[in-house]
Structure 1
Amino acid sequence: MPSIELQIENGVAKITLNRPETFNSFNREMALLLQKTLEECSANPEVRAIILTGSGKAFCAGQDLKEVTSPELNPGFRKILEEHYNPIIERIRAIEKPIIAAVNGVAAGAGANIALACDIVVASEAASFIQAFSKIGLIPDSAGTFFLPRLIGFQKASALMMLGDKVSAKEAEQLGMLYKVFSVETFQEEVIALGKQLAQMPTKALGLTKRLLNQSLTHTLEEQLAMESELQIEAAESEDYAEGVNAFIEKRKPAFKGK
């Protein structure tokens, strides 16, 4: 079975990490295939929203330790970071389409941080998050030290990374780590509904919003205001804006195309 599954329906691409026997932990094949799949979704005009989730009981348990402890298979940490995880994070942030991390189960190590790099994080009540790196003498990677402090604050992030505490989905929601928690029974239905909702929105503007949010992490106030002005003008010239205004005046539901 492929380690990454892709389904496209109603403008939504559902990418599933598919190594359930290893709790969807990453080996080189899966990491490179996820990058390729993200690129395909980025280039496909039919895809207007992306869902990233896991098969089986886990979202992603991070790195497959069997790979890094195998003399024959171990690519080495430099390759793992520079060719596997860093490009995945860069692609997630660069794709100007909304990406939902649908955390169905445990998200540990790099798996947790890949989820946190997505635009909207939702979780099943059965999900949990753990910065597992300190348990084996490593440091958080996959942009965990970048995103987690910004999401929940420096002190909480520092404690979770150093202590390696497991955080339940409800605790993660309370901390501000994610958007919403759904029941186990309704999780899949709610995720698909959210994906469809985003795909029917003015995704041109959502992509520009994502670009602004990326830049806000390093911009000064003046730089951010200037960029907002520039991108608002671009948004105002879009077909979606014209459709949105006409629909409002005509008191009907807009039919956005992401253009």
Structure 2
Amino acid sequence: MSSNSIELNLENNIAYITLNRSEVFNSFNREMALNLQQVFDDCETNPEVRAIVLTGNGKAFCAGQDLKEVTSPELNPGFKKILEEHYNPIITRIRSIKKPIIAAVNGVAAGAGANIALACDIVVAHEKVSFIQAFSLIGLIPDSAGTFFLPRLIGFQKALALAMLGDKISAEDAEKMGMIYKVTALDDFEKEVGKLAFKLAQMPTLALGKIKEAFNQSLTNNLEQQLALESKLQIEAAQTEDYEEGVAAFIEKRQPKFKGQ
């Protein structure tokens, strides 16, 4: 399945979603934002999908908002619509889908593009990649949950400085400060992403979704609330077929064969 601006390919229970506006460094216009939301919805409801990879076509992951759209009298949807109908729904989908999502950052990730990547569950980038909170450079503030996730990933002081200064951060530095999970060599990037996605797709999908739910709620829960949530989710996880298979495989000293059920 594909559209003009988004490509979707399913392989080995992995949905590969590719932002496909390489001529403008995969910057978002309204069509691409709405298409991406639909593709996420399709992946969420498709039982064949057990892991998702989000990446970009060409030299960039995503350069954020297409500024030609917002400066065009004919095309400009306005910032209220851009945020409430484009970026905010994309972020909420990324966090609510109960399947692991890898951001495979293949090139520069700037503005909303950087923050969409950071909202994903696992971020992998190659050594030539850079991340930029570019908003202040044109008189804006970070959106797409940048002010929410970035300080939680790297700390308040560092995040605030990057948001204000708009510094370009290398993938290596992003890994060191805890912004992303892993940086790879350029030549190994696709192979490493594929290995990671395949591993996730073979794991107990329902349990991974519950792990994601627990971490999401930990961002706002107190200790008592989080302990109660862990109890609830653990009881639910213990009722799955994959739990039974995992225990049986451990006792029988063999590799488990999870089905995502």
In the superposition, the TM-score normalised over structure 1's length comes to 0.99
Q: Which of the numbers 152, 156, 159 marks the counterpart of 2:158?
A: 156
Partner of 1:16: 18
Give the letter aligned to residue 110 of structure 1: A
Give the letter aligned to residue 131 of structure 2: F
Give the letter aligned to residue 144 of structure 2: S
Partner of 1:228: 230
Shift, 1:133, TM fit: 0.2
Name the SS for the 1:56 alignment partner.
coil
Structure 2 gap segments, 5+ residues each: none
Partner of 1:255: 257
Shift, 1:251, TM fit: 1.0
| Alpha-carbon separation, structure 2, partners of 1:144 and 1:106 | 16
Q: Which of the numbers 60, 79, 82 marks the counterpart of 1:80?
A: 82
Question: Are 2:173 and 1:171 equivalent residues in the alignment?
Answer: yes
Partner of 1:124: 126
Q: Which of the numbers 67, 70, 92 marks the counterpart of 2:69?
A: 67
- 1:156-235 equivalences in 2 (<5 Å): 156-235=158-237
Partner of 1:27: 29
| Alpha-carbon separation, structure 1, partners of 2:169 and 2:20 | 23
In the superposition, the TM-score normalised over structure 2's length comes to 0.99
Once the two structures are superposed, residues 196-236 of structure 1 have per-residue CA deviations (whole angstroms, 9 ceiling, x without a partner) of 00000011100000000110000010000000001000000
Once the two structures are superposed, residues 56-86 of structure 1 have per-residue CA deviations (whole angstroms, 9 ceiling, x without a partner) of 0100000000000000000000000000000
Name the SS for the 1:241 alignment partner.
helix
Partner of 2:139: 137
| Alpha-carbon separation, structure 2, partners of 1:116 and 1:82 | 19
- The two structures, once aligned, show a CA RMSD in angstroms of 0.6
Partner of 1:54: 56
Give the letter aligned to residue 216 of structure 2: N
Name the SS for the 2:186 alignment partner.
coil
Once the two structures are superposed, residues 151-198 of structure 1 have per-residue CA deviations (whole angstroms, 9 ceiling, x without a partner) of 000000000000000000000000100000011111011101110000
Name the SS for the 1:72 alignment partner.
coil
Partner of 1:238: 240
Structure 1 gap segments, 5+ residues each: none
Partner of 1:104: 106
Shift, 1:128, TM fit: 0.6
Name the SS for the 1:50 alignment partner.
strand
Shift, 1:2, TM fit: 1.4
| Alpha-carbon separation, structure 2, partners of 1:175 and 1:52 | 22
List structure 1 runs of 4+ shifted beyond 2 angstroms: none
| Alpha-carbon separation, structure 2, partners of 1:127 and 1:48 | 27
Give the letter aligned to residue 154 of structure 2: I
State the identity %. Answer: 75
Shift, 1:244, TM fit: 0.2
Name the SS for the 1:237 alignment partner.
coil
| Alpha-carbon separation, structure 1, partners of 2:13 and 2:119 | 22
